[in-house]
């Protein structure tokens, strides 16, 4: 048994956690989210380079959240998701034990959220090279070309909301698309309905997105939808110097006024 299994087994045995959220072997060589509730299930947890999925969205999922205390096996994306959720008061100290696996494969058991911040302090977040490449390509386009690119991509959207469900920060109990009085966003998966949905989501995530790219990964029709919030995160870093999901006390950049905020976008 590897370290992760031993730690999970111990946490379950001592009652420090009722469930350990982690990764297990999936279909045909893939990995899947796995949930250890007993010793037998703890033995089946794995961690290797295939475990890139951000699991933070399971923390507030209705079927899991009542089981708090939770423990969660975490890569950097998951750590950032947890920190962001904490900064938005969705997780408090003591709710969750985080089992961060660092670059050397060591398991770092974080019982306090501040310990996660210490782990993150040593990390410089980077986006995937292929995402950077496509963002550069989009940046080089004229606004009209960029519009055409997104309109063409949006045509394939089927409004399955996998992007929303996979997102660690889409935790609203009632999403704007589920409000029908008034109907803010058209329900149909047509051009305007799709555009309004994705623009609303990107705007709602701006300054909050932890750049895990899970929305794009989840998309069953391969729309690179993660590039919208990721690009906005880049803009916010450039303008305000803030990066989401690194520190609990970080400001909610776009919903906080500071006297020295730049105002050069006006006029």
The answer to whether residue 164 forms part of the interface with another protein (CB under 8 A) is yes
Residue 171 binds to another protein (criterion: CB under 8 A): no
Choose which of 188, 235, 256, 261 interacts with another protein (CB under 8 A): 188
Q: Is 228 in the site for another protein (CB under 8 A)?
A: no
What is the per-residue burial (b if ≥16 Cβ within 10 Å, else e) of 185-216? bbeeeeeebbbbbbeebbebbbbbbbbbbbbb
CA distances from 223 to 127, 128, 158, 191 (A): 17, 16, 11, 14
Tell me if 136 contacts another protein by CB under 8 A.
no
When asked if residue 26 is in the footprint of another protein (CB under 8 A), the reply is yes
Single out the residue of 16, 161, 171, 254 in contact with another protein (rule: CB under 8 A).
161
Please report whether residue 256 would count as binding another protein according to CB under 8 A.
no
**Beta carbon of residue 117, minimum distance to another protein (angstroms, whole number):** 27
178 binds another protein, rule: CB under 8 A: yes
Point out which residues pair with 188 in neighbouring strands: none
Assess 179 for contact with another protein (CB under 8 A). no
Q: Is 35 in the site for another protein (CB under 8 A)?
A: yes
Measured between its terminal Cα atoms, the distance across the chain in Å is 62
From 28-36, 79-87, 90-98, 242-250, give the range in contact with another protein by CB under 8 A.
28-36
Query: What does the alpha-carbon distance between residue 227 and residue 133 come to, in Å, rounded to a whole number?
Result: 11
Q: DSSP for 170-233, please give it.
A: ---SS-GGG-BTTB-S-SS-SHHHHHHHHHHHHHHHTTT-----HHHHH-TT---TTHHHHHHH
Using CA atoms, how far apart are residues 153 and 61, in angstroms rounded to an integer? 29
Nearer to another protein, 101 or 218 (CB): 218
Using CB under 8 A as the binding rule, whether residue 190 contacts another protein is answered as yes
Give the span between the Cα atoms of 254 and 267, in whole angstroms.
19
Of the candidates 247, 245, 250, 212, the one whose C-alpha atom is nearest the C-alpha of residue 117 is: 247
Is 33 near another protein (CB under 8 A)? yes
When binding is defined by CB under 8 A, the residue of 3, 135, 138, 189 that contacts another protein is 189
Q: Does 242 bind another protein (CB under 8 A)?
A: no
Binding residue for another protein, selected from 14, 15, 27, 140, defined by CB under 8 A: 27
**Count of C-beta atoms within a 10 Å radius of residue 138:** 16
Smallest separation, CB 191 to another protein (Å): 11
**Site for another protein contains 92 (CB under 8 A):** no
Among 38, 48, 50, 61, binds another protein (CB under 8 A): 61
3-state helix, strand, coil in the chain (%, to 5): 45, 10, 45
What letter does residue 124 receive in the DSSP assignment? -
- Establish if 181 lies at the interface with another protein (CB under 8 A): no
Q: Give the closest residue to 197 by CA, choosing from 182, 208, 186.
A: 186
Residues that bind another protein (CB under 8 A): 19, 26-28, 30-35, 57-58, 61-64, 156, 158-162, 164-166, 178, 186-190, 214, 217-218, 220-222
């Amino acid at each position: 048994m590897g370290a992760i299994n031993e730690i999970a087994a111990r946490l379950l045995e001592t009652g420090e956690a009722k469930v350990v959220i982690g990764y297990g072997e999936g279909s045909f060589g893939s990995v899947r989210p796995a949930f250890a509730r007993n010793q037998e299930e703890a033995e089946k947890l794995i961690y290797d380079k295939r475990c890139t999925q951000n699991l933070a969205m399971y923390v507030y999922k209705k079927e899991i959240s009542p089981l708090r205390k939770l423990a969660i096996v975490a890569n950097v994306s998951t750590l950032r998701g947890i920190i962001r959720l904490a900064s938005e008061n969705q997780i408090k100290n003591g709710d969750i034990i985080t089992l961060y696996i660092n670059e050397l494969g060591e398991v770092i058991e974080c019982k306090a959220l501040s310990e996660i911040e210490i782990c993150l302090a040593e990390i410089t977040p980077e986006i995937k090279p292929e995402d950077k490449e496509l963002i550069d390509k989009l940046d080089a386009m004229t606004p009209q070309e960029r519009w055409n690119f997104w309109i063409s991509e949006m045509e394939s959207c089927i409004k399955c909301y996998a992007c929303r469900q996979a997102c660690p920060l889409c935790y609203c109990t009632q999403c704007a698309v589920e409000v029908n009085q008034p109907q803010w966003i058209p329900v149909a998966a047509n051009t305007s309905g799709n555009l309004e949905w994705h623009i609303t989501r990107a705007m709602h995530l701006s300054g909050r997105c932890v750049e895990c790219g899970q929305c794009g990964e989840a998309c069953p029709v391969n729309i690179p939808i993660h590039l919208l919030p990721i690009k906005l995160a880049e803009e916010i870093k450039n303008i305000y110097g803030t990066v989401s999901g690194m520190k609990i006390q970080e400001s909610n950049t776009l919903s906080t006024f500071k006297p020295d905020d730049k105002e050069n976008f006006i006029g």
